[in-house]
Amino acid sequence: MVVHSMNEKKLKRIEEVFHEVNRRHFDGKIIKPAFKLNRRMKKAGSVNLLRWAMDISISYHDKYGWNGELINTVKHEMIHIHLKLIGKPTGHNKYFKEIMERIGCTLYAKPNKRPYKYIFECPHCRKEYKARKWIGKRYSCGECSERRFNKEYILELKERLC
């Protein structure tokens, strides 16, 4: 199957990056975690220090690249692992930032928001509201209903974008 072989190539690429970053910046001391591709994740990656696993977002790296941006993500997640191994707090603290500057990676990933799918409109004032999910009849216009739900100002679908 084509998808399966694409995922295998991506996992192989992640492993290659891990070994190179481990050798270059951590003297090969970090034990390889399990790598997992995640279709639903919107951020670039995450590491679970209890399961010893690194999740990498497919959508994020399809959008921003499986080379430079992947290297940045793997470096970032490896800092969390390294801090765990040396007994330091694993958050985005001063230790994290010192290592981050030394090895050259970023603290935050690029934005990876889903596109808007709907435009809803107030039937009274015609103000438009963009939404990523279907909101049905659960919301009313914030201005007309004075920031409280009011069934007289329930938003109506104006346009479906996707």
pLDDT at 42: 86
2-103 domain in CATH 3.30.2010.10? yes
* CB-based contact 145:129 (threshold 8 Å): no
Q: Model-level pTM greater than 0.85?
A: no
User: Could you give the residue range(s) of every CATH 3.30.2010.10 domain in the chain?
Assistant: 2-103
pLDDT at 2: 53
Instruction: Please report where in the chains the tokens 């295998």 appear, as a residue.
Output: 8
DSSP E strands: which ranges in the chain? 34-38, 45-48, 53-57, 118-121, 128-131, 156-160
pLDDT at 77: 97
Question: pLDDT tens string for the chain (162 positions)?
Answer: 455 688 999 999 999 999 999 999 999 999 999 999 999 888 999 999 999 999 999 999 999 999 999 999 999 999 999 999 999 999 999 999 999 999 999 999 888 777 889 999 999 999 999 998 898 888 999 999 988 999 999 999 999 987
